Amino acid sequence: MSTIFKILRFDPPKDEQPHFQEYIHTPKPGDTMLEVLKDIRDQQDPSLSFRYSCREAVCGSCALTINGEIGLACRTQFEALKTDVVVIEPLPNLEIIKDLIVDFKPFWDAYNYIQPYLQPEGEAPPKGHCVDEKDMEEVYQFITCILCGSCYAACPVATRDGRYLGPAALAKLYRFAIDPRDKRPWPALARVDNPTGVWGCDTVFRCNDVCPKEVRPADGIEGLRRRMVVGRTKHLFGRKK
């Protein structure tokens, strides 16, 4: 059935402001929204730009706003939308570079800020680290994050304060904090012990709702908050001694 797709177009500085362009297209049975977008581009308008890569919900390229809902285009089934008009917009909270492509700079700045790498002690043990199976499985909730930016785009705190690190970066830090191999010093964790870090979260859990990989980033923020309280006390106590 032919459907109207209203797609946000913007090519600064050529265009003064974003506008919607309408395309009439008949998706094939079983098409995902990414397949729909590719067909519209290939058959009707090659100037339409959007990001994509794996088309199997693991590379994190194609998060968009579809009929007002944030999600991965590659994993959104057209038929499941059940509307005659489909509105496609880029992710909110990030500046548009062109059409559906947004500037991830604030997202990556936050990622870089938390020191997103394991900080173990000493050299690699000759037979690898000894890690309990259960402890490693705790980490798995967070390593499924595909860095798609959906949570950042949905976060109301990020909307009003561009300095807020956002859910993905904080959940990433928590992933290291609970990894038994990680021995980062207290100051590395305390970098987020402030209103642009863990205390900025409004606990409205939009991040948990929109995450396509069920990471539940807010669990990570919650966990970091507990660490902050405990760490601060320990640190003060240590200093007194």
Nearer to other proteins, 101 or 232 (CB): 101
Residue 42 in contact with other proteins, rule: CB under 8 A: yes
Counting beta carbons within 10 angstroms of the beta carbon of residue 130, is it exposed (0 to 12), middle (13 to 18) or buried (19 or more)? exposed
* Whether 60 contacts 70, CB under 8 Å: no
Residue 66 in contact with other proteins, rule: CB under 8 A: no
Residue 63 in contact with other proteins, rule: CB under 8 A: no
Residue 161 CB, shortest distance to other proteins, in Å, is 24
Considering only the stretches 59-67, 189-197, 199-207, 220-228, report the one whose residues sit in contact with other proteins under the rule CB under 8 A: 59-67
How is residue 56 written in tokens? 């199997």
* Residues 6 or more apart whose Cβ sits within 8 Å of residue 170: 114, 192, 197, 198, 201, 217, 220, 221, 224
Per CB under 8 A, the list member of 6, 8, 25, 41 interacting with other proteins is 41
Nearer to other proteins, 125 or 195 (CB): 125
Rounded to whole angstroms, the maximal C-alpha distance in the chain is 74
Separation CA 101–CA 49 (nearest Å): 7
Positions in 79-118 near other proteins (CB under 8 A): 97-99, 101, 104, 111-112, 115-118
- Backbone φ/ψ region at 215: left (φ over 0), alpha (ψ -120 to 50), beta: alpha
Residue 180 CB, shortest distance to other proteins, in Å, is 9
Positions in 121-180 near other proteins (CB under 8 A): 123-133, 136, 139-140, 143-144, 146-147, 176, 179
What's the residue count for the chain? 241
Residue 113 CB, shortest distance to other proteins, in Å, is 10
Nearer to other proteins, 87 or 143 (CB): 143
* Whether 181 contacts 129, CB under 8 Å: yes
Cα dihedral 225, 229, 230, 236 sign: positive
Residue 58 in contact with other proteins, rule: CB under 8 A: yes
Nearer to other proteins, 83 or 112 (CB): 112
Per CB under 8 A, the list member of 22, 46, 68, 185 interacting with other proteins is 46
* Whether 24 contacts 84, CB under 8 Å: no
Residue 125 DSSP class = P
Separation CA 211–CA 71 (nearest Å): 8
Nearer to other proteins, 22 or 121 (CB): 121
CA-CA-CA-CA dihedral for 72, 77, 83, 88, to nearest 10: 30
- Contact residues for other proteins (CB under 8 A)? 11, 30, 32, 38, 41-43, 45-49, 51-61, 75, 97-99, 101, 104, 111-112, 115-118, 120, 123-133, 136, 139-140, 143-144, 146-147, 176, 179, 181-182, 213
